[in-house]
Structure 1
Amino acid sequence: MSKVRHSPKAPTALRYLPPGTEVDAHRHDDHQIVYAGRGVLSVTTDAGSWIAPATRAVWVPAGTVHQHRAYGETDLHTVGLPTTDNPLGLSTPAVLAVGPLLRELILAYTKERMPGAERLRMRAVLLDQLRHAPQQPIRLPAARDPRLAAACALLDEDPADQRPLAALGAEVGASSRTLSRLFRAEMGMTFPQWRTQLRLHHALRLLAEGTPVTAVAHRSGWASASAFIDTFRRAFGHTPGRSR
């Protein structure tokens, strides 16, 4: 993220992004809610990557340098909020669960024109809903140690790679014990937990691009479609077929 565009005010808007569209690195002086009403959106910062299907939104705190990428045809809804409006008190990016009411509020608030008084009332309800939105750990932290980063890059290139940590360590010059320690220290999770997160990220992208569920399962590293569906349902609350 070498060139960073500064937009003082975070926009509240609806924007259509064709598949593969990238929004370059930028930052706002406001907080921002980023939501894909259709398609799948990834949000990347120096701290890592977050991914948001239609049941999730990404909270981007004021001043955070971030960039987006769309997978599939994506409707990007963004809600800008002044720094005085931080209903969850979050100072770092986070993925928030989006229930039916919060979803409809975001859609209406970003695309419908209405009198000022009505808009203020809708915004108040939206903030109330955000206050009760649970955080969801669908993220991929950025690795700092070069050995860990190299191991992560191998699996990011091929999430279906089934090699154990020892075999990956041999390729990047670190023992399995060292990599296991680094995963806990830098990622805040074990290697199997991180690999599941990585595979879910890849699965969401493939689903948004129209890839059949069985193909998504195998290309993302699951032994069977049923195992993939079970993991996906536990992570997102619905089946991958519904996500497509």
Structure 2
Amino acid sequence: MTRETRTVPEPAPSAAHAPFVIHGYDELVDRDTSWNAHAHPWDELLWNERGASMAVVGERAWTITPTLGLWMPAGTRHSGSAVAGTWFRAHFFGRATTPSLSDVPVAVEITPLLRLLLERLGDTGLAPDSRAATEVMVLDVLTPSPRELLVHVPASALLRPIADAVRENPGDRRTLSHWAAELGVSPRTITRAFNAETGTSFARWVAGVRAQHAVALLTRGWEVEVVAEEVGYRSASAFGAAFRRTTGLTPGSFRAR
């Protein structure tokens, strides 16, 4: 199946003054899809009804799922991608009518209550008073989450071979020492570079990439044991422990129902 690449048109600046409070959009993509770098004049909440997608801002890549969404502030240039079968949701918040949750991208936990409220706003027969009351409730329960599936992608000539290899194959089990020998530098040099570029260690960065890849597989219905092996762990228990340390959630939280 070929990948579809879409170009998102840039709205005119005057669109920022649109009168809507919350406007929703959703789509089920039938093939792997990528969106070009673009920005919206409104704040945006990205989440999925089903499947996993990714949003990229600069060197930061977030995975978006049915339980973890992403708040994208107005004017933030971002690109995106989604695997075939993903049912993605986007809700736009009019800046002229609502306060911004955050001026930087932040994760948002899609709680059952928030999901129900957003789905209610999709009812075209909703009375104006009921819509207004529901929008107020959405704004009340919408809060940043301490959990996020975020990976800072290093771009230096030293770390790029590691980043490309691990992101291409999260099951790659080469250790810090193996990479140091392969690149002809000391483990300490790689450690310092990872801390400087990503704010975390080599091991934690690899665990983050593996968690992102694992979520994409779990949301497609893969068994936990199979996912564990696919992303480089020798047992489901080792995978589960690493996944919880990285995300604060269990792998089962992302299993397709």
So what's the TM-score if we normalise by structure 2?
A: 0.82
Q: CA deviation at 1:173?
A: 4.7
Please state if 1:201 is matched with 2:212: yes
Q: CA deviation at 1:236?
A: 5.4
- The question of whether the paired residues in 2 share the 8 Å contact of 1:45 and 1:65 is answered with yes
- Give the structure with the higher percent strand: 1
The whole-number CA distance in structure 1 between the counterparts of 2:131 and 2:253 is 35
- The question of whether the paired residues in 2 share the 8 Å contact of 1:32 and 1:79 is answered with yes
Which residue of structure 1 lines up, in the alignment, with residue 89 of structure 2?
A: 77
1:4-35 Cα offsets, whole Å, 9 max, x none, are 74135596212222242223332111110001
Q: State the secondary structure of the residue aligned to 1:193.
A: helix
Unaligned residue ranges in structure 1 (runs of 5+): none
Unaligned residue ranges in structure 2 (runs of 5+): 17-22
Which residue of structure 2 lines up, in the alignment, with residue 124 of structure 1?
A: 136
Please state if 1:102 is matched with 2:114: yes
- The question of whether the paired residues in 1 share the 8 Å contact of 2:207 and 2:243 is answered with no
Please state if 1:39 is matched with 2:51: yes
Which residue of structure 2 lines up, in the alignment, with residue 218 of structure 1?
A: 229
- The question of whether the paired residues in 2 share the 8 Å contact of 1:147 and 1:174 is answered with no
Q: State the secondary structure of the residue aligned to 1:147.
A: coil
Which residue of structure 2 lines up, in the alignment, with residue 134 of structure 1?
A: 145
Identity within the alignment, %: 28
The one-letter code of the counterpart of 1:125 is: M
Q: How many residues align?
A: 240
The whole-number CA distance in structure 2 between the counterparts of 1:242 and 1:205 is 9
Q: CA deviation at 1:197?
A: 0.7
Q: Which moved more, 1:208-217 or 1:95-104?
A: 208-217
The whole-number CA distance in structure 1 between the counterparts of 2:153 and 2:8 is 19
- The question of whether the paired residues in 2 share the 8 Å contact of 1:17 and 1:75 is answered with yes
Question: 1:86 and 1:140, CA in 2 relative to 1: closer, same or farther beyond 3 A?
Answer: farther
The structure having more radius of gyration, on CA atoms, is: 2
- The question of whether the paired residues in 1 share the 8 Å contact of 2:59 and 2:152 is answered with yes
Which residue of structure 2 lines up, in the alignment, with residue 60 of structure 1?
A: 72
Q: State the secondary structure of the residue aligned to 2:56.
A: strand
The whole-number CA distance in structure 1 between the counterparts of 2:69 and 2:248 is 12
Which residue of structure 2 lines up, in the alignment, with residue 157 of structure 1?
A: 168
